[in-house]
Copies of this chain bind each other. A is one copy, B any other.
Amino acid sequence: MKIYKKELIYNVPAHRGLVKITDHVREALKESEIKEGLALVNTMSITASVFINDNEQGLHHDWEKWLEKLAPEFPKEQYEHNIKENNAHSHLKRAIMGRECVCAITDGKLDFGGFEDIFYYELDGQRDKKVLVKIIGE
């Protein structure tokens, strides 16, 4: 049994933003030398998301608008969390988008459908945040 771990660091200059990280996960997979197994990719931050979807700019704009409708940032006072902090909306948006993805590894590759890409969704940025890649298999 082989096990490999890698931490990736992202610092998104805006309050929110999407980063395509598929190639960073592929690099970790190559380093692991694991040919068959499972890869867990999760954000270690509770105000960010790792998820799989489409690398299409129009859709990325739609997500922003849609998440803002479902879990609006303003007014700040609508959230009790914001008595101590100011990012309640980031936690709620993350609940919709999810913390992690688990990927099948087959023949040393991410076993993905044609349009699957892994994204890091920063929901409260302007500082270093970590993504964990943990691969187990053989």
Contacts and interface: CB of A to CB of B under 8 A. Distances in A.
Interface residues of A, number: 60
Nearest to A45: B113
Contact of A132 (B40, B80, B104): B104
Given A71-B66, A91-B53, A99 B96 contact: no
A19 interface: no
Interface in A45-101: 45-46, 51-54, 56-59, 61-63, 66, 70-71, 79-85, 88, 91-92, 94-101
Interface of A: 1, 3, 5, 36-38, 40, 42-46, 51-54, 56-59, 61-63, 66, 70-71, 79-85, 88, 91-92, 94-104, 106, 111-116, 130, 132, 134, 136-138
